[in-house]
Amino acid sequence: MKILVTGFDPFGGEAINPAIEAVKKLPDEVDGAQIIKVEIPTVFHKSAEVLSEAVKTHQPDVILAIGQAGGRSDLTPERVAINVDDARIPDNEGNQPIDVAIQEDGEPAYFSTLPIKAMVQAIRDAGLPASVSNTAGTFVCNHIMYQVLYLINQGYPDIKGGFMHIPYMMEQVVDKPDTPAMSLSDISRGIEAALKAIVAYHGKEDLQALGGQTH
């Protein structure tokens, strides 16, 4: 079994992105699954091009994309990606699409095909905060989650895929008072726990557990 794990490069004026740094710290194998680590640019569409080439090269069974959600306090597997780019800030090449469809022939939304409830439970069992998220935003994180699931829908029906957001790492909040953060080692440990759940639940129904939100 092969799992492709992607992480973004720094963006938004940050010198570092814990997404790719945590991915780099992952072991090369998790519970018998080979872990393939790929850095992708924080750029609309170019990120999907890099991802697509990695899929062609490695032919993974699973794709897990990782991105930073500054301000969140826990690790959050995403439930759904929507077919819209609406960028609050420019990406790393200055693109700032507003209310633009990601794929004109794509569905309005795609749902993660990963065991998101089991991933949350595994992360919590590892002693770290986690919850299901019902919005991946409208920046490049939502964009790449949508592109992952669009790619699967268009030509790789046997691949499972999805996205998980992670918090800031400690070094990023030195000048951001009262902002949640997590150590890089814990972020990486949380991703590894999620990967263990992905392996354990591959080919099975997701864990039935509370994970909804009222608002």
- pLDDT tens digit sequence for 70-84: 999 999 999 999 999
* Other Cβ atoms within 10 Å of 130 Cβ, number: 23
- pLDDT tens digit sequence for 50-109: 999 999 999 999 999 999 999 999 999 999 999 999 999 999 999 999 999 999 999 999
Are the beta carbons of 22 and 188 closer than 8 angstroms?
yes
| Bridge partner residues of 35 (DSSP) | 3
What the chain holds in terms of domains, given with CATH numbers, is: 2-200 (3.40.630.20)
Show the 3-state SS of 161-174.
Answer: EEEEEECCEHHHHC
Residues involved in catalysis? 78, 141, 165
Is the pLDDT reported for residue 12 higher than 90?
no
Reduced to 3 states, what is the DSSP secondary structure of residue 147?
helix
Are the beta carbons of 7 and 20 closer than 8 angstroms?
yes
Reduced to 3 states, what is the DSSP secondary structure of residue 136?
coil
| CA–CA dist 50, 41 (Å, integer) | 8
- pLDDT tens digit sequence for 23-51: 999 999 999 999 999 999 999 999 999 99
- pLDDT tens digit sequence for 109-150: 999 999 999 999 999 999 999 999 999 999 999 999 999 999
What are the backbone dihedrals phi and psi of residue 98, each rounded to the nearest 5 degrees, phi first?
A: -125, 120
